[in-house]
Amino acid sequence: MAATSKNARIIAQVWQSGVPVPWCDEFEKMISGMNFKAANSQLMLDHKLVTRRRLKAFNDDSIPDGSTLDSLKSHRMSFARQIFGRLGSDTNIEPLLFCTWGCNTFIGDDCYINRNISIFDSAPVTIGNRVLIGPGTCICTDTHEVEYASRMESNSGSFAKAIKICDDCWIGARKYSEAE
Q: Is the pTM of this model over 0.75?
A: yes
Q: Does 30 reside within a domain?
A: yes
**What is the residue range of 108's domain?**
8-178
pLDDT band at 180 (very low <50, low <70, confident <90, very high): low
Mean confidence (pLDDT) of the chain: 94
Those residues whose C-beta lies under 8 Å from the C-beta of residue 120, and which sit 6 or more positions away, are 99, 100, 138, 139, 140, 141, 142, 160
What's residue 173's pLDDT? 87
Please answer whether residues 136 and 97 qualify as being in contact, where contact means their C-beta atoms are separated by less than 8 angstroms. no
What's residue 60's pLDDT? 96
Q: Does 163 reside within a domain?
A: yes
Q: Does 78 reside within a domain?
A: yes
Q: Does 3 reside within a domain?
A: no
Those residues whose C-beta lies under 8 Å from the C-beta of residue 169, and which sit 6 or more positions away, are 128, 131, 132
Those residues whose C-beta lies under 8 Å from the C-beta of residue 30, and which sit 6 or more positions away, are 36, 38, 44, 122, 123, 159, 160
* Count: domains in the chain: 1
Q: Does 126 reside within a domain?
A: yes
Q: Does 29 reside within a domain?
A: yes
Give the separation between CA 62 and CA 144, rounded to whole angstroms. 38
Q: Does 2 reside within a domain?
A: no
pLDDT band at 147 (very low <50, low <70, confident <90, very high): confident
Q: Does 1 reside within a domain?
A: no
- What 8-state DSSP symbol labels residue 36? B
Phi/psi of residue 159, each to 5°? Answer: -145, 170
What's residue 145's pLDDT? 74
Q: Is residue 177 predicted with pLDDT exceeding 80?
A: no
Give the separation between CA 64 and CA 89, rounded to whole angstroms. 26
107 strand-pairing partners: 87, 127
Percentage of the chain lying above the pLDDT 70 cut: 97
Q: Is residue 73 predicted with pLDDT exceeding 90?
A: yes
Over residues 1-22, the mean pLDDT reads 95
What's residue 146's pLDDT? 75
Over residues 93-110, the mean pLDDT reads 98
Over residues 139-147, the mean pLDDT reads 86
Radius of gyration of the chain from its Cα atoms, rounded to whole angstroms = 17
CATH number (domain holding residue 23): 2.160.10.10
Range with lowest mean pLDDT among 27-36, 65-74, 103-112, 150-159: 150-159
